[in-house]
Amino acid sequence: MESGRPKDVGILAIDIYFPPSCVQQEALEVHDGASKGKYTIGLGQDCMAFCTEVEDVISMSLTVVTSLLKKYQIDPKQIGRLEVGSETVIDKSKSIKTWIMQIFEEYGNTDVEGVDSTNACYGGTAALFNCVNWVESSSWDGRYGLVVCTDSAVYAEGPARPTGGASAIAMLIGPNAPFAFESKYRGTHMSHVYDFYKPNLASEYPVVDGKLSQTCYLMALDACYNRYCSKFEKFEGKQFSISDSDYFVFHSPYNKLVQKSFARLYFNDFLRNTSAVEKDAKEKLEPFSNLIGDESYQSRDLEKVSQQVAKTLYDAKVQPSTLLPKQLGNMYTASLYAAFASVIHNKHKTLVGQRIVMFSYGSGLTSTMFSFKLQEGQHPFSLPNIASILNVSEKLERRHVVPPEKFVETLKLMEHRYGAKDYETSRDTSLLTPGTFYLMKVDSMYRRHYARKDA
């Protein structure tokens, strides 16, 4: 603490939960009659996690929060703010946060600020900023903040269906964090568009203008990157380029868009004439330097050439973040933070002193680029301990691959159950690991009842 203010506020600890059921993209291609390679190479996805009828965003949140508190030995009384990011609507009034309060009430702690934040995939970032801002503010009472990003991403039959996914992530927020926010450099772009939205309250599925959402994402990325660079330059007195960050972590609807996004940053660096772009790359990009406005987003040649010249840097600075998003799919609010967890899993031994730049995008649209500076955390918040608690490899290995027919059957059942009352689930917990929460029933008053598989 310096002059009474907490220092290096950021993420102290993180845990992830994802459902044990998944479907392989290769099998889904065959099932959907898509051309071979469309989902695996075209979208760049390997596998997709989904909730069966016994799990949902609330049960996943209860599971991940309980797990984080236990594994890091955090007294639930030490949480002073709990913020949830989600776009999966279960109730139009009652926040997911209030369900999670059960964990804290049990320990006599009801003094917990915060509710849910919603705007497509951006809600988790809004929740994170709320917690970080609280710890940095004069209303901070010295306790931890806790952020939960939880979503089950499901699409109607059609081209968007393979871009679903599911998971919940919990992050503990406080001072002296191994992942310290560089709050001064945030670059934000927000605007009104209809690229992906959920106007039909009787359905869980979004309305998607897929092509528009891709362009909106890339335009938002450009705007945020340029603002991030300007702020960096203002405070540091030198130009920012992709050489100044060790990793770039993107919201990941599907991996192909992440590949295109990094290539776009490279193209921006070329346009800004930074030293990150080498001579032969400059020559290759030169023919595109005069493309203006929408032209540059529609040019297939530019897309191809920029991906080609950025490839080596992509492998070093982006690839380590792609493991979980490729395996689990788009987890909406949790997607960016699952990519972040992948970097921790892959690189925890070498992260100290490095920088991670994050790009958060939520359709509609809201977007921010921000960054973390990494330092050695103190036990239990050390990087090796965080990686070991994440336990990514083991969690991935113990998943259960189901055939596409079973996945489609589950979605059909969930379509009937969406917004319904007075039903019981199968209570089949055979695939769940001990300690996992599950949905038992929704009663005649729409009240949801959960239980926990014996730990």
Residues near ligand ACO, by CB under 6 A: 35-38, 41-43, 121, 159-160, 163, 196, 208, 210, 213-214, 217, 253, 256-257, 330, 363
Provide the minimum distance between the beta carbon of 57 and ligand ACO in the complex, in angstroms, as a whole number. Answer: 16
Distance of alpha carbon 175 from alpha carbon 163, whole angstroms: 36
**CB nearer ligand ACO, residue 213 or residue 371:** 213
Find the residue with minimal CB distance to ligand ACO: 42
**CB nearer ligand ACO, residue 6 or residue 210:** 210
The one-letter amino acid at 173: I
**CB nearer ligand ACO, residue 78 or residue 214:** 214
Collapsed DSSP state (helix, strand, coil) of residue 117? strand
Bridge partners for 21 per DSSP: 400
**CB nearer ligand ACO, residue 366 or residue 429:** 366
Q: Which listed residue (29, 87, 204, 303) is catalytic?
A: 87
> Which tokens in the block code for residue 350?
């070498």
Provide the minimum distance between the beta carbon of 192 and ligand ACO in the complex, in angstroms, as a whole number. Answer: 15
Q: Residue 375: phi, psi to the nearest 5?
A: -140, 165
Provide the minimum distance between the beta carbon of 223 and ligand ACO in the complex, in angstroms, as a whole number. Answer: 15
**CB nearer ligand ACO, residue 330 or residue 436:** 330
Provide the minimum distance between the beta carbon of 133 and ligand ACO in the complex, in angstroms, as a whole number. Answer: 25
Provide the minimum distance between the beta carbon of 258 and ligand ACO in the complex, in angstroms, as a whole number. Answer: 10
| Catalytic residue flag (residue 251) | yes
Nearest to 242, CA basis, from 278, 279, 217: 278
Provide the minimum distance between the beta carbon of 216 and ligand ACO in the complex, in angstroms, as a whole number. Answer: 7
**CB nearer ligand ACO, residue 118 or residue 330:** 330
Q: How far apart are the first and last CA of the chain?
A: 39
Q: Which listed residue (55, 182, 216, 251) is catalytic?
A: 251
Catalytic residues: 87, 121, 251
